Amino acid sequence: MNPGWRRDAVAAVWVAAVAGAGWTGTALAARAPSKAKPATHTVTIDATSYAPARLTVHPGDTVVWVNKDLIPHTATAKGGGFDSKVLAAGASFRLTVKAKAGIDYACLFHPTMKGRIDVE
């Protein structure tokens, strides 16, 4: 079984729960996204870093963080917005981007880990 499924479910709940507020707020009220089909982007967590550390996406795209490291990490937006919670080694977290603004995120456990998603 893909260990990411449970996280996916959690992420889906999050998107629904915070719709209309915070980072995803503008997105749900926005027009249909551009004609391009939504893409899925993968951010690999390895050796206590995010790769790519900076990612540009379009509204409607999905970002999946996959923890390929040996230790637990998180992907947690600064000032709220999204939080993967604890991602054990091998776990993943899926987020559908609804916002139109970029956001910085970090690992709650390892302050040296920093990432950013730009939305255009």
Partner 1 sequence: MKVMYVAGLMAALTIPAAAASAQAVTDPQIAAIVVTANQVDIDAGKLAAAHANNPEVKKFGELMAADHAGVNKSATELVTKLKVTPQNNPTSESLKDGGVKNVAHLKTLKGAAFDKAYVDQEVAYHTAVLDAVDKTLIPNASNAELKALLVKVRPAFVAHLEHAKQIQATLGGAH
- Radius of gyration for the alpha carbons in the chain, expressed in angstroms and rounded: 14
Q: How many CA atoms lie within 13 A of 3 on its CB side?
A: 11
What string marks each residue from 35 to 74 as x (binds partner 1 by CB under 8 A) or -?
-----------xxxx-------------------xxxx--
Tell me which residues in 85-114 interact with partner 1 (CB under 8 A). 89, 107, 109-113
Tell me which residues in 3-22 interact with partner 1 (CB under 8 A). none
Q: Which lies closer to partner 1 via its Cβ, residue 47 or residue 101?
A: 47
Q: Buried b / exposed e across 91-114, counting CB within 10 Å, b at 16+?
A: bbbbbbbbbbeebebbbbebeebe
Tokens of 44: 């690999």
Q: Which lies closer to partner 1 via its Cβ, residue 103 or residue 107?
A: 107
C-beta separation of 41 from 55 below 8 A: yes
Q: Which lies closer to partner 1 via its Cβ, residue 58 or residue 114?
A: 114
- How far does the chain reach from its first CA to its final CA, in angstroms? 34
Least CB distance to partner 1 at residue 118 (A):
24
Least CB distance to partner 1 at residue 7 (A):
18
Q: What are phi and psi of 79, to 5 degrees?
A: 75, 20
> By the criterion CB under 8 A, which residues form the site for partner 1?
46-49, 69-72, 89, 107, 109-113
